[in-house]
Amino acid sequence: MGLNDALLANIRRCKYVKPTPVQKYAIPIGMAGRDMMACAQTGSGKTAAFVFPILAQLMASGYEPKGRERVVSGVLHEIKILVYGVNYFVAG
């Protein structure tokens, strides 16, 4: 999928074993920097599919968070809270 080793290690640490169908198709599109729209049921992994390419590209650019700084992105406040939670546990 093009995710770097450090990110993959943290994804495994969070007990992700195999990508869901939405992740399988969405992550490569995100890694290519292309726009996408996905519709899938709650709990299908859409948020992780959205966040993992962002984290991978930040890590590849040499971005170093300062202290407990985090990148949170989403269209709704509730989604931002969910994204923050996934980001916090995966990015460490």
Higher pLDDT pick, 56 / 66: 56
Residue 65 has pLDDT above 80, yes or no: no
Q: What angle do CA 53, 58, 61 make, to 5 degrees?
A: 125
51 pLDDT more than 70: yes
Q: Is the pLDDT of residue 89 over 80?
A: no
Examine the pLDDT at 71 and tell me if it is beyond 80: no
Average pLDDT score, the chain: 81
Read off the CATH number of the domain in which 67 is found. Answer: 3.40.50.300
The encoded tokens of residue 38 equal 């996905």
Domain count, the chain: 1
Q: Tell me the residue range of the domain where 63 lies.
A: 5-91
